[in-house]
């Protein structure tokens, strides 16, 4: 495929998955809105994640913390001091770059407490070949002010990750749930980073969403839980329909990890624009709880119910970007089949993630008896699924239109339906058609 990214971006805009934000005002660079289909896909991904990692496990509980937190949180976590990316400017064309992005010789990645090496040798501007400035550290925290006075006393930060609230609230959550180690806290929500070089559609934006788990364990069992979460992340990627061959599990070597981490794996995906991070998995030791206890003065230790021993739990952190999940799900699902008149574009999305689970059509729009029955079926199915309605053009075109947005099944009400109480159900992937009794549709679709 010539440029799969361009194809996906254009499909997303045309069909209302994702389009540029505030476009009537010329947009806002690298800000995107999820349209009617995009919000369904994104919500389905978040719900599937929550159901898989919170509801279906009895060792993970949820949290939905405030986005703006006491600024001391970011002091303790190290973000105010260290959450920086190395920035260089081109002296000639004035473009800005992340220094670590234009020096392929190093896989170094900016992280808390870790200073990235400046570009070595003759790094030049990738745009015009011009000379680059020296590296400056640029803090990624987005600042704002609470209340009417814009002074240092009222400044707060949009959280750059969801993680910290799960450490800060650890004691409360543990007390109210009475969970014993090992157990985790999960959160889904927005995060903000003043990225130097956002881009590649929804891959890197300044406002994005994360799904994170902080899983608290005893120190001597961290390795087991690290492997467990790695395997869970692999299972999730399989569920999204991502091929193993599109993934690279990159062990971050000593010296390149964040200072608090004893082991980190970046899960990279082979995007059309290169192999880059999709998700991450880190063993964060007991660094965060220790730091918050130290700075806040609160006792964040866990008390062993048997021995009464008090200690700081250690933490395994699997983290998933929501927007990157949407992107790789779309890239993995996109297919072009056939040629000429028979050509179709089909999004082979996992069926439970598709924006619409099913579409309902009356064979002909101008036959009230067909429309009436089709409408009854549509209204009935909508109690269980998100359902599309289409009565424009011919059936072939309607199928193509639904294939392109990944609707797993299309139901057509025809003249026979009025006599035999059955409808034609056409499968997105095989394009095979089957007659199904109207009363058995819900069961049939659930099985599908």
- Residue 275 CA: distances (Å) to CA of 105, 204, 248, 272, 328: 15, 14, 8, 8, 12
Extended beta strands in 124-254, E state: 136-139, 142-145, 155-158, 183-192, 207-217, 247-251
Pairwise CA distance, residues 123 & 89, whole Å:
12
Pairwise CA distance, residues 191 & 161, whole Å:
5
Contacts of 86 (CB under 8 A, 6+ apart): 98, 99, 100, 110, 115, 116, 118, 135, 136, 137, 138
- Minimum gap (Å) between residue 271 Cβ and ligand ATP: 11
- Minimum gap (Å) between residue 240 Cβ and ligand ATP: 13
Extended beta strands in 222-313, E state: 247-251, 263-271, 274-285, 302-303, 310-311
- Minimum gap (Å) between residue 256 Cβ and ligand ATP: 11
- Residue 364 CA: distances (Å) to CA of 44, 89, 374, 439: 32, 61, 10, 22
- Minimum gap (Å) between residue 321 Cβ and ligand ATP: 2
Reference 205, options 220, 190, 217; nearest CA is 190
- Minimum gap (Å) between residue 4 Cβ and ligand ATP: 19
Pairwise CA distance, residues 408 & 420, whole Å:
24
Of the pair 15, 98, the CB lying nearest ligand ATP is at: 98
Q: Determine the residue with CB nearest ligand ATP.
A: 321
Of the pair 174, 319, the CB lying nearest ligand ATP is at: 319
Give me the phi and psi of 118, to 5 degrees please. Answer: -65, 160
Of the pair 32, 183, the CB lying nearest ligand ATP is at: 32
Pairwise CA distance, residues 413 & 401, whole Å:
18
Of the pair 187, 210, the CB lying nearest ligand ATP is at: 210
Of the pair 123, 265, the CB lying nearest ligand ATP is at: 265
- Minimum gap (Å) between residue 244 Cβ and ligand ATP: 18
Of the pair 319, 407, the CB lying nearest ligand ATP is at: 319
Contacts of 430 (CB under 8 A, 6+ apart): none
- Minimum gap (Å) between residue 80 Cβ and ligand ATP: 16
Of the pair 235, 421, the CB lying nearest ligand ATP is at: 235
Residues that bind ligand ATP (CB under 6 A): 109, 161, 193, 195, 204-205, 208, 210, 277-280, 319, 321, 323-324
Q: Partners of 362 in the beta sheet?
A: 413
Of the pair 280, 406, the CB lying nearest ligand ATP is at: 280
- Minimum gap (Å) between residue 317 Cβ and ligand ATP: 9
């Amino acid at each position: 495929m010539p440029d799969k990214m361009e194809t996906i971006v254009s499909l997303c805009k045309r069909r209302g998955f994702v389009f540029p934000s505030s476009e009537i005002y010329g947009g806002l660079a690298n800000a995107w809105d999820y349209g009617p289909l995009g919000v369904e896909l994104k919500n389905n991904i978040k719900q599937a994640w929550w159901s898989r990692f919170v509801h279906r496990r009895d060792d993970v509980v949820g949290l939905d913390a405030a986005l703006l937190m006491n600024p001391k949180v970011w002091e303790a976590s190290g973000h105010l001091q260290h959450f920086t990316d190395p920035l260089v400017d081109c002296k000639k064309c004035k473009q800005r770059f992340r220094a670590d992005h234009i020096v392929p010789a190093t896989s170094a990645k900016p992280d808390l407490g870790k200073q990235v090496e400046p570009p070595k040798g003759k790094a030049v501007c990738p745009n015009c070949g011009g000379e680059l400035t020296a590296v400056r550290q640029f803090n990624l925290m987005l600042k704002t002010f609470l209340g009417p006075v814009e002074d240092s006393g009222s400044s707060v930060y949009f959280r750059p990750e969801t993680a910290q609230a799960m450490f800060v609230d650890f004691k409360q959550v543990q007390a109210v749930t009475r969970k014993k180690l090992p157990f985790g806290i999960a959160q889904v929500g927005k995060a903000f980073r003043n990225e130097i070089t956002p881009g590649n559609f929804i891959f890197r934006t300044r406002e994005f969403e994360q799904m994170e788990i902080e899983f608290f364990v005893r120190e001597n069992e961290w390795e087991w839980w690290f492997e467990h979460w790695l395997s869970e992340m692999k299972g999730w990627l399989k569920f999204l329909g991502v091929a193993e061959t599109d993934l690279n599990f990159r062990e971050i070597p000593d010296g390149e990890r964040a200072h608090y981490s004893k082991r980190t794996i970046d899960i990279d995906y082979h995007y059309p624009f290169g192999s880059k991070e999709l998700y991450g998995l880190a063993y964060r030791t007991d660094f965060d709880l220790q730091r918050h206890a130290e700075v806040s003065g609160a006792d964040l230790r866990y008390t062993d119910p048997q021995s009464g021993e008090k200690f700081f739990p250690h933490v395994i952190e699997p983290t998933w970007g929501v927007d990157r999940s949407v992107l790789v799900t779309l890239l993995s699902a996109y297919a072009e089949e056939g040629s000429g008149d028979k050509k179709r574009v089909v999004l082979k999305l996992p069926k439970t993630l598709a924006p619409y689970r099913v579409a309902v059509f009356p064979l002909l729009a101008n036959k009230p008896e067909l429309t009436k029955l089709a409408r009854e079926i549509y209204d009935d199915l909508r109690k269980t699924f998100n359902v599309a309605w289409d009565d424009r053009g011919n059936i072939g075109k309607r199928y193509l239109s639904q294939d392109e947005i990944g609707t797993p099944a299309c139901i057509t009400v025809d003249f026979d339906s009025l006599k035999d109480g059955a409808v034609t159900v056409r499968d997105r992937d095989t394009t095979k058609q089957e007659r199904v009794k109207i009363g058995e549709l819900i069961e049939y679709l659930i099985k599908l």
